[in-house]
Structure formats: structure tokens, C-alpha cells
């Protein structure tokens, strides 16, 4: 159980909040690259409690600016992209991707007023078919050298999950909560086996759960009675690797989370793929009505991700951790919270938190031992799992 202050510390993501400042030390996805087209060159990004505009100008440069125009506040999402940047739809103030104001059309020609105007701008880079932004203090660190992002011997595909209407830390705690699989997912992760006892589900398959820290985050491990071992790394602070999928949870604000899945498909013979331009599949909502909250919506319960979204959202928009009864199987959840508090403290002391790398010569490749093929699944590792 946490105090209200501790719960706030884990869950508030806006500027100046403890977790918000921690999360601002990492590159985070802000959009699907293929969605920015000449016909639709702008989109609103809601991230860490900020409302931003992502755009590609006519020179092909991509920028991420505060969405609210410095002049009198109109949204730049409705602006016109031009060769030099984006022009506010209201009075045409023109901003480049660095946030410099280049024009204020209604001012006298000789006016230098625009030189005094600076729009908040964040660095953007493209990786695995996504645009990623860094919202923290400069200089920006390096992108995590994670196998799903950087292995070249395969293709990738994006799966854009439906909106998750709850706080980001609920799916993260779930990533360190192995016991739920054998209960919540007993009818979706049972691989055709009939369940003898629905009260215990698949629980008695498991010998033990272990949790430990790694250089890049945390690991949860299930050891099954048949000797099979199932390990799922958490790339601190907001990514779960499950199967060959990197599940990225991006806090939009305290009560909404954007979830991107990046799945890696290795080539059969290790062949290098030169141009991997991942297509995106958009997953339909798991609840109906899709924009309502529990108890005013109903989740489907016939798919693993739907079951998880149900569990996370029904914990509340922000789970009240002053009201809970943790037990021995929650020690992964407790470890994650301890690591968060410790890393938050580092940021408050002016230090880099876990996983922030700045030296290209010291950016170790994070090899999480992706499965090479379906066949490999019998090799003392969990089958290509549909669970986490």
C-alpha cells in the first residue's frame, strides 16, 4: 500500500512532477511516421500532459512544437505547412521546426518583433516507423540500443492499440505481475488445453516467479514445473518486451496512455533487410462504447490484450494504491515501485536515471534473445506466447 503522496509521485506525468521529469529523460514515440502525408501534414500530440503539434514542412523537415500559438493561442495543428515551417492558421505567424518565429505577416515589413518570439520545440527522430521525441533538458541522450529497434535481420510491423483510458503505471505494474496470466488469461493463453479448475486456472503449471534488475531495467521470470522458463524484460521505464514485441506505453496525461506495439519478424536465414518501412495495423477498440469508462462501457474478454485493458482500466483512471492488499506474488510490482522511487530521486539530484546513455562508445546492444522462429519455441523457452 502506498501513501497518496507516493501514488501521486508514480502517476503524475506533467511538467515538473517527479515521474514526469523522469519520463522526460527518455525518447518517447509521438506518432506513426506514415501518418504524416502531404494531405495530412500535421497532427496533435498529447504527451506527458502537454499538447503539441507534430508536422512535416514542405522541405521534408519534421518538427514538434507546442500546439498553442504564442500570439493569441490558436492551434498550430490547423496551420499551413510551408517550406520554412508551419504558419498559424489565425494570423499566420510562421514557426520553423526549431521554434523560431520567422514571420508575423500583419506587422509592418520592417518589424523585428518576430525575433523576440520563441515557440517551445522538441527534437524528433524517426525509428522503426515511428517519430520519437525527447522532452527533457538538452542535450538529448541516445536512443536505447534495443534489439527490437535495431536488429537488421528482419522486418517490423506496428500494431497501434486502441486508446487506454488510464494511467501509464497500471500497464507497467502488470508487466511485473506474472501471476495474472494464469488466471486472467486462462481461457486465452491455454493453447487449447481444457481448464480443469477455473479457480486456479493455469496457476499450478508454475514452479516459481523471480524478479531481478538488469542494466536496462527489470526482468520477471516464470519457471514452469515442466522446466520451461519464460522471461519478459522491462526496458525501464515504459517498455515491455514480450515475445518478439516491444510494447511501448506512452503517457498522454495522468489518465490516458498511448500504446504502440513494434513486432520484429526475423528473416529465415539471417538476411539483412536494407529498408524496413514497417506497416501499421490499427487495433479496434476493446470496449463498447469505445470512449466510455468503467462502469459505463463493456470490454470484450476473448482476447489477451482486451482482458488486460479491462484489468488496467477497471483499476480506475488512476489506481488508488492507498487501497490495496499486496501479497507475496506482488513482489515484482513492489520492486518496480522501488526502482521508480530510486530513479526519480536520481533525477531530482541532477543525475541520469537508469538506461539513459550518452556515450555512443558505451551504448551496449540490449539482446533480449528474441525467438528466431516458431520452431524454436520448443527449445526450453516459452512458446511464442500470446500472453505476458
Query: Minimum Å distance from CB 65 to ligand FES?
Result: 12
The number of residues that bind ligand FES (CB under 6 A) is 10
Among Fe ion, ligand FES, none, the one that 308 touches (CB under a kind-dependent 5 to 8 A) is: Fe ion
Query: Minimum Å distance from CB 58 to ligand FES?
Result: 19
> Which of 14, 51, 66, 71 touches ligand FES by CB under 6 A?
71
Q: Which is nearer to ligand FES, 54 or 69 (CB)?
A: 69
180 near ligand FES (CB under 6 A): no
94 near ligand FES (CB under 6 A): no
The single residue listed with the C-alpha cell 528474441 is 370
Residues 6+ apart with CB under 8 A from 225: 204, 205, 206, 207
Helix (H, G, I), strand (E, B) or coil at 262: strand
CA distance 35 to 29: 13
186, 222, 238, 339 from 4: Cα distances, Å: 33, 32, 22, 18
Among Fe ion, ligand FES, none, the one that 67 touches (CB under a kind-dependent 5 to 8 A) is: none
Compute the residue count for the chain.
Answer: 388
Q: Which is nearer to ligand FES, 68 or 222 (CB)?
A: 68
Among Fe ion, ligand FES, none, the one that 343 touches (CB under a kind-dependent 5 to 8 A) is: none
**239 phi and psi, to 5 degrees?**
-125, 135
Q: Which is nearer to ligand FES, 85 or 246 (CB)?
A: 85
- The residue number with the shortest CB distance to Fe ion is 308
Query: Minimum Å distance from CB 136 to Fe ion?
Result: 30
Q: Which is nearer to Fe ion, 96 or 308 (CB)?
A: 308
User: Could you say which residues in the range 105-134 bind ligand FES, by CB under 6 A?
Assistant: none
Q: What is the Rg, in whole angstroms, of the alpha carbon atoms belonging to the chain?
A: 22
The footprint of Fe ion (CB under 5 A) covers 308
43, 122, 303 from 217: Cα distances, Å: 32, 25, 28
Span from 66-74, 142-150, 218-226, 298-306 in contact with ligand FES (CB under 6 A): 66-74
295, with CB counted inside 10 A (0-12, 13-18, 19+), is exposed
Query: Minimum Å distance from CB 86 to ligand FES?
Result: 11
69 near ligand FES (CB under 6 A): yes
Neighbours of 38 (CB within 10 A): 8
CA distance 339 to 214: 11
* CB-side neighbour CA atoms (13 Å) of 176: 28
Cross-strand partners of 234: 218, 240
Which three cell numbers, joined as nine digits, stand for 259? 500504446
Least Cα distance to 147 among 26, 230, 245, 219 occurs for: 245
List the 28-32 sheet strands across, edge first.
28-32, 130-133, 124-127
Which x/- pattern over 295-314 shows residues binding ligand FES (rule: CB under 6 A)? --------------------
**35 phi and psi, to 5 degrees?**
-75, -20
Q: Which is nearer to Fe ion, 280 or 303 (CB)?
A: 303
Among ligand FES, Fe ion, none, the one that 93 touches (CB under a kind-dependent 5 to 8 A) is: ligand FES
Query: Minimum Å distance from CB 325 to ligand FES?
Result: 52
Query: Minimum Å distance from CB 50 to ligand FES?
Result: 18
Query: Minimum Å distance from CB 105 to ligand FES?
Result: 8
What is the 8-class DSSP label of residue 177? -
Instruction: Report the relative pairing of strands 280-282 and 239-242 from DSSP bridges.
Output: unpaired
Query: Minimum Å distance from CB 200 to Fe ion?
Result: 17
Which three cell numbers, joined as nine digits, stand for 203? 496457476
Least Cα distance to 175 among 105, 127, 237 occurs for: 237
Among Fe ion, ligand FES, none, the one that 74 touches (CB under a kind-dependent 5 to 8 A) is: ligand FES
Q: Which is nearer to ligand FES, 26 or 93 (CB)?
A: 93
Q: Which is nearer to ligand FES, 90 or 265 (CB)?
A: 90
Q: Which is nearer to Fe ion, 189 or 347 (CB)?
A: 189
The single residue listed with the C-alpha cell 497500471 is 170
User: Could you say which residues in the range 74-93 bind ligand FES, by CB under 6 A?
Assistant: 74, 88, 90-93
72 near ligand FES (CB under 6 A): yes
Query: Which residues bind to ligand FES, rule: CB under 6 A?
Result: 69, 71-74, 88, 90-93
Amino acid at each position: 500500500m502506498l501513501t497518496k503522496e507516493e501514488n501521486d509521485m508514480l502517476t503524475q506525468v506533467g511538467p515538473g512532477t517527479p515521474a514526469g521529469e523522469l519520463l522526460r529523460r527518455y525518447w518517447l514515440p509521438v506518432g506513426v511516421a506514415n501518418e504524416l502525408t502531404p494531405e495530412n501534414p500535421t497532427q496533435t500530440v498529447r504527451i506527458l500532459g502537454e499538447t503539441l503539434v507534430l508536422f512535416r514542412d514542405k522541405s521534408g523537415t519534421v518538427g514538434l512544437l507546442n500546439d498553442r500559438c504564442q500570439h493569441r493561442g490558436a492551434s498550430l495543428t490547423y496551420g499551413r505547412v510551408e517550406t520554412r515551417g508551419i504558419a498559424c492558421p489565425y494570423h499566420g505567424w510562421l514557426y520553423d521546426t526549431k521554434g523560431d518565429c520567422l514571420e508575423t505577416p500583419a506587422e509592418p515589413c520592417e518589424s523585428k518583433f518576430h525575433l523576440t518570439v520563441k515557440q517551445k520545440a522538441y527534437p524528433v527522430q524517426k525509428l522503426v516507423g515511428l517519430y520519437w521525441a525527447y522532452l527533457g533538458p538538452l542535450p538529448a541522450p541516445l536512443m536505447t540500443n534495443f534489439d527490437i529497434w535495431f536488429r537488421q535481420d528482419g522486418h517490423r510491423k506496428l500494431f497501434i492499440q486502441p486508446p487506454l483510458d488510464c494511467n501509464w503505471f497500471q500497464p507497467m505494474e502488470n508487466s511485473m505481475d506474472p501471476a495474472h496470466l494464469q488466471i486472467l488469461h486462462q481461457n486465452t493463453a491455454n493453447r487449447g488445453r481444457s481448464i480443469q479448475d477455473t479457480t486456479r486456472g493455469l496457476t499450478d503449471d508454475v514452479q516459481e516467479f523471480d524478479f531481478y534488475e538488469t542494466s536496462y531495467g527489470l526482468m520477471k521470470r516464470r519457471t514452469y514445473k515442466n522446466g520451461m522458463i519464460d522471461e519478459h524484460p522491462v526496458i525501464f521505464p515504459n517498455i515491455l518486451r514480450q515475445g518478439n514485441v516491444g510494447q511501448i506505453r506512452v503517457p498522454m496525461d495522468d489518465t490516458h496512455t498511448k500504446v504502440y506495439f513494434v513486432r520484429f519478424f526475423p528473416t529465415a536465414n539471417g538476411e539483412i533487410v536494407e529498408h524496413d518501412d514497417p506497416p501499421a495495423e490499427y487495433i479496434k477498440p476493446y470496449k463498447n462504447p469505445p470512449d466510455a469508462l468503467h462502469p459505463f462501457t463493456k470490454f470484450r474478454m476473448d482476447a489477451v490484450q482486451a482482458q488486460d485493458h479491462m484489468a488496467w482500466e477497471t483499476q480506475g483512471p488512476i489506481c488508488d494504491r492507498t487501497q490495496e492488499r499486496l501479497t507475496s506474488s506482488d513482489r515484482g510490482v513492489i520492486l518496480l515501485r522501488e526502482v521508480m522511487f530510486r530513479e526519480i530521486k536520481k533525477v531530482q539530484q541532477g543525475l541520469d536515471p537508469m538506461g539513459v546513455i550518452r556515450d555512443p562508445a558505451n551504448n551496449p546492444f540490449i539482446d533480449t534473445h528474441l525467438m528466431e522462429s516458431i520452431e524454436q519455441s520448443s527449445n526450453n523457452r516459452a512458446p511464442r506466447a500470446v500472453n505476458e
